[in-house]
Amino acid sequence: MKLYGYWRSSAAYRVRIALNLKQLSFENLPVHLVKNGGEQHSDSYKALNPAELVPTLVDGELSLNQSLAIIEYLDEMYPQPALLPAEPATKAKVRALALDIACDIHPLNNLRVLQYLTGPLALSEQQKQDWILHWLHTGFSALEQRLKASAGQFCFGDEPTLADICLVPQVYNAQRFALDMTAYPTINAVHQHCQQLAAFALAAPEQQPDKQ
C-alpha cells in the first residue's frame, strides 16, 4: 500500500491517522506542494491524480483520491477497529461532522485557495490571515456546539471515529494560523485526548520524514 501525501496536508494527515488506527503498513511517498512550483503539478503525478491534490492511495490495482473515500475504503477492507458506528443514525451524525470539517472548513484555508488570494486576487498577507481566521471561527463555532451534544472522550462517545480523524488535522491548522482556541473548550478537550493515542501522535506533520 502506497500513500502519496505531504507532511502538512490536512487530508493526508487524516489518512495517516486512519492507517495507524488500523495498524496497516504503508509506503509514504512525499509530494512536495511548494517546491519547484509544486510537485503535485508534475506530469507524473497528474497521471496518477488529475486533480493535482494529495492524498492518493494506491493499493494493488486501485488508485484512490479523496481522503474520506480512502478512509471509508480502509474501514470496509479492514473492519477493526471500526471508524464508523454500526447504528445508522449515529453513523450519519459521524459522517456529517466529518463533512462539516472536510467540506466546509478545510477547503477555505487550503493551500491553493490561499495562493489564489495572494496571487491573482492580490490580497495582502494580513487580508489572507483575516480570511483564514474568519472562516475558522465560523466553522469552529458550529463545531463546538455539535460536540457539546455528542462528545465523550472523543467526538462521539469514547471511541475514535472518522470525526476525530478530521478534527485533529483541522485543529493543527488552526494552531498553525494562530487561532485563539479559548472559545472552544470541547474541541480542545477532544483534541487533547486524541493526541494521547499513538495513532494520532505518529501521524502528526512533525513526525513525517518529509517535514521541512
What structural domains and CATH numbers belong to the chain? Answer: 2-81 (3.40.30.10), 88-199 (1.20.1050.10)
pTM of this structure: 0.96
- Mean pLDDT, to the nearest integer, of 52-58? 97
For 106-129, the pLDDT digits (tens) are 999 999 999 999 999 999 999 999
Closest Cα partner for 69 from 82, 57, 87, 53?
57
Cis amide prior to 81 (ω within 30 degrees): yes
Burial of 61 from C-beta contacts in 10 A (0-12 / 13-18 / 19+) = exposed
Closest Cα partner for 20 from 32, 3, 6?
3
Strand, coil or helix: 151: strand
Q: 107-111: list long-range contacts, CB under 8 Å, 24+ apart.
A: 108/132, 108/135, 108/139, 109/135, 109/136, 109/173, 109/177, 110/10, 111/33, 111/34
- What pLDDT is recorded for position 212? 73
Rounded to the nearest integer, the mean pLDDT of the chain is 97
For 142-166, the pLDDT digits (tens) are 999 999 999 999 999 999 999 999 9
At 104, the pLDDT band (50, 70, 90 cuts) reads very high
Cis amide prior to 55 (ω within 30 degrees): yes
- What pLDDT is recorded for position 59? 97
